[in-house]
Amino acid sequence: MKICYLDCFSGVAGDMLLGALVDAGVDPAHVREEIAKLGLEGVELHFEPCKRSGISGTNLTVEVAHDHSHRSLSKIEEIIGSSGLDEDVKERSIRIFRRLGEVEAAVHQIPIEKVHFHEVGALDAIVDIVGACVGFKALGIEKIYCSPLNLGSGTVKAAHGVMPVPAPATASLVKDVPTYADGPEVELTTPTGAAIVTTLAESFGAMPAMRIESVGYGAGDREFKGRANLTRVLVGEASSAPEATQIHVIEANVDDMSPEWVGYVREKLLEEGALDVTVAPVYMKKDRPGFTISVLARTEDRERLGDLLLTETTTIGIRTHTAERRVLERTSQPVETPHGTVNVKVASENGAVRNAAPEYDDCRRIAREKNVPFKEVWQQAQFAYMSLKTKS
């Protein structure tokens, strides 16, 4: 399966993304031919080779003959929908603009029918969004993955005046997406760029397992000191190795809390969606015995589980860091034992079984019901599974 990874180490804008796709192998002539199907007058696309901090890339400039800075969502959908573009390109492009429209409506607290785009509705933004969808189609991309987004910082001048970075629309678009701010105090991720990647990307985090076939760099107009103002696209075939997913580790040290409370907190964290919770004894300041509570959390659960730690324990602070998690595929295999049916957890990778273990709860239940030793039930279940595996 052909996939691509968007590396937004210097943010992402629509023109940078389209430039990166061309740099990765999309024919500029094909992009121009497809954009011409929109019937937009006075639009010219210029793809020029350039360098940013010593790295070669492609810079896109969209030249328009007239200023059409205000367009309604319905008008943009009409332009795209009535064009001769591929149906997949139409659907993706309209979906991106629809997402932008919903965000703008929420930011300005108006019905979506009354939304009139400014920067994102200009001709060059229509070209950027449709052009990016054309590029993904031309490269045969089936799935898109993206890095955490570098948003930038400071302020940006927009149609409504000077706004903080990220701009309100961008901030809404990147909700529940891993983001950070690093580098110059400028806008690095634009609303158009944010709309494209948050609409089309499968997930945000580390690069998935893939065999890279081509790499492209799309350049921003500015030169930054000590930073390459580029968006990178890596294109290739998904490999068979399991993908690493991004999770968050939340930790708290406590030394003034009853050990009985720890069990309650651990149970509650798991009930609230923690992937795992571990507790380790530690010695703290002045040789006080204490505990380190470590929680594995999904991005969408990080803040909520952090609040729970602060609320339910006596700690006065928590630590959070990002980690990559590689998980084996897990299935359940029922086996018959002399005392009853036990489910066996089977963990595999690329069809090869790596681990197998009887379910504790099943063995515990049967041991109590039949009044037999737990280890006997467990061993019988393990033997039954191995016999079944040998026969297959």
Residue range 24-40: average pLDDT?
A: 96
Write out pLDDT tens, residues 317-332.
Answer: 999 998 888 888 889 9
Write out pLDDT tens, residues 281-337.
Answer: 999 988 899 999 999 999 889 999 999 999 999 999 999 998 888 888 889 999 999
Strand order in the sheet with 55-64: 43-52, 55-64, 210-219, 230-238, 2-7, 143-146
What per-residue confidence (pLDDT) applies to 242? 59
What per-residue confidence (pLDDT) applies to 159? 67
State how far the Cα of 250 lies from the Cα of 252, in Å rounded to an integer. 7
Report, at the CATH architecture level, how domain 244-326 is classified.
Answer: 2-Layer Sandwich (3.30)
- Are the beta carbons of 234 and 271 closer than 8 angstroms? no
HSE (side-chain half, CA atoms, 13 Å) at 184: 15
Write out pLDDT tens, residues 40-53.
Answer: 888 899 999 999 99
Write out pLDDT tens, residues 89-103.
Answer: 999 999 999 998 898
Encoded amino acid at 312, one letter? E
- Are the beta carbons of 39 and 79 closer than 8 angstroms? yes
More confidently predicted of 40 and 270: 270
Domain map (residue ranges) of the chain: 2-238, 244-326, 329-391
More confidently predicted of 320 and 73: 320
Residue range 49-64: average pLDDT?
A: 94
Superfamily of domain 329-391: mk0293 like domain (3.10.20.300)
Round the average pLDDT of the chain to a whole number and report it. Answer: 91
- Closest by CA to 10, choosing from 229, 223, 169, is 229
What per-residue confidence (pLDDT) applies to 343? 95
- Closest by CA to 4, choosing from 315, 213, 164, is 213
Name residue, tokens 């969808």: 133
Write out pLDDT tens, residues 171-200.
Answer: 999 998 999 999 899 999 999 999 999 999
**DSSP conformation class of 140:** T
Q: Is the pLDDT of residue 392 over 70?
A: no
Encoded amino acid at 57, one letter? G
What per-residue confidence (pLDDT) applies to 117? 65
Residue 124's contacts (CB-CB under 8 Å, 6 or more residues apart) are: 14, 15, 62, 64
Question: Can you spell out the DSSP letters for 234-271?
Answer: EEEEEPSSPPEEEEEEEEEEESSS-HHHHHHHHHHHHH
- Closest by CA to 221, choosing from 191, 200, 243, 190, is 190
- Closest by CA to 288, choosing from 247, 253, 239, is 253
**DSSP conformation class of 392:** -
Burial class (CB in 10 A: 0-12, 13-18, 19+), 135: buried
- Confidence label for 106 from pLDDT (cuts 50, 70 and 90): confident
For 259-286, b/e burial (b = at least 16 CB within 10 A) is: eeebeebbebbeeeebbebeeeeeeeee
Write out pLDDT tens, residues 132-154.
Answer: 999 999 999 999 999 999 999 99
- Confidence label for 120 from pLDDT (cuts 50, 70 and 90): very low
What per-residue confidence (pLDDT) applies to 99? 92
Write out pLDDT tens, residues 211-269.
Answer: 999 999 999 999 998 899 999 999 999 986 556 678 999 999 999 998 889 999 999 99
* Global pTM value: 0.67
